[in-house]
Amino acid sequence: MRLEVGKIYVKDVQFGAATKVENGVLFVNKEELLKEVSGDERLTSIDFEIARPGDETRIIPVKDVIEPRVKVEGKGGIFPGFIANVEQVGSGRTHVLKGAAVVTTGSIVGFQEGIVDMSGEGAKYTPFSKTNNLVIICEHKEGINQYDHEDAVRMVGFKAATYLGKAAMDVTPDEVKVYETLPILEQAKQYPELPKVVYVYMIQTQGLLHDTYVYGVDGKKIIPTFLYPTEMFDGAVVSGNCVSACDKNPTYVHMNHPVIDDLYERHGKDINFLGCVVTNENVYLADKERSSNMTAKLVHFLGADAVIISEEGFGNPDADLVMNCNKITDMGIKTVLITDEYAGQDGASQSLADSTPLADAVVTGGNANEVVVLPPMKKIIGHIDAANVIAGGHVGSLREDGSIEAELQVITGATSEVGFNYMSAKGF
């Protein structure tokens, strides 16, 4: 599977008479976009704002972040199973509006939603303070349930990103990057002297607004399966969850997966990157056993010498992480785990809800319980009162002057468990 990703760098987003990219600026026809995303009777209003890096702007509560992309050559289209049909993606050519993002907000769906500050202390922790954001404010019809609310807003985001992505169709990219993974037997022979590495990608699928989709299918309903890494870049996996904002993988992160990107960078140099196994995070013990058994079997079948495993969320999914680690290690395959920590505000508590002595190589995205104070902002997009109820906040988090005292949990992407963040560790 070979995919060319053409990057068109966007330095600014502005409303204009026509939707187009010109001299590094993404112009958006507001009326045309509204027509494109409207029509869902579950929503009473849809509006748009622009939030740029450095603006004294706070977006709250953030639901999803999506990158505009368009399929230029090859099978299928972006967001298969939602916008495009379910034909396999990940080959051909895809153009990306790099530096632009769609951010969805509005009245709160579930309490585990987040904050993106475009400047100040909070901006240091979220990667989306560096993107030029078209923010969509969606207000829902009174009386609809949370699942319909989440679904309606999610689809507006996907439609908007698809519409904007089309502006990149005929633009010459500033940079083209090529990713390729061969069929497994050919791939294994390509660099026989290098260790063969597989990435096990755990996605949040616990239900109750903790959902992720693979080709349009709710991840709870899948069994672990192999994906060509390039499929991720075309939106084969998308977010539909309200897990804590700090370690949630928004759709933007799935499409720009840093672990996959880094493994491709190392491919042919010091590793042979075979591909990805996507697996779910379950609620019941029997389901955890089934998925971890099949994940271990699959990576062994692929002939992996080493596996990187990342999780999404915390608490209950820690058990899935440990099961995957134990069963894969027992097969003689080396493992590296990526997670974050909930070690208490003083950092002195146990970091994970489960553990194993076999987890002897672990990368952390940071302690989500660390307390920060976010200064007041001149402009609020969304609903500021959500600061008192979102995970990581508390009654009284929102101060009279508009500042917010809360844990890092509230900041979208702050402790990303795939490394799409700015936190780092240092030794003493």
CA atoms within 13 A on the CB side of 170: 2
What is the rounded distance in angstroms from the CA atom of residue 20 to the CA atom of residue 37? 18
- In sequence order, what DSSP letters do the residues of 16-70 get, joined into one string? -SS-EEETTEEEE-HHHHHHHH---TTEEEEEEEEE-TT-SEEEEEE-EEE--EE
What is the rounded distance in angstroms from the CA atom of residue 374 to the CA atom of residue 345? 16
CA atoms within 13 A on the CB side of 340: 31
The 3-state DSSP class for residue 195 equals: coil
Do the bridges between strand 306-310 and strand 334-341 make them parallel or antiparallel, or are there none, so unpaired? parallel
Contact assessment for residue 277 and residue 298, using Cβ atoms and an 8 Å cutoff: yes
CA atoms within 13 A on the CB side of 101: 26
Token pair 């002195």 is at which residue?
348
Q: Which of 411, 385, 419 has the alpha carbon at shortest distance from 62?
A: 411
Q: Which of 165, 325, 160, 311 has the alpha carbon at shortest distance from 249?
A: 311
Per-residue b or e along 314-335, where b marks 16 or more CB atoms closer than 10 Å to that residue's CB: beebbbbbbbbbbbbbeeebeb
Residues carrying an active site annotation: 242
Q: Which of 411, 407, 419, 427 has the alpha carbon at shortest distance from 347?
A: 407
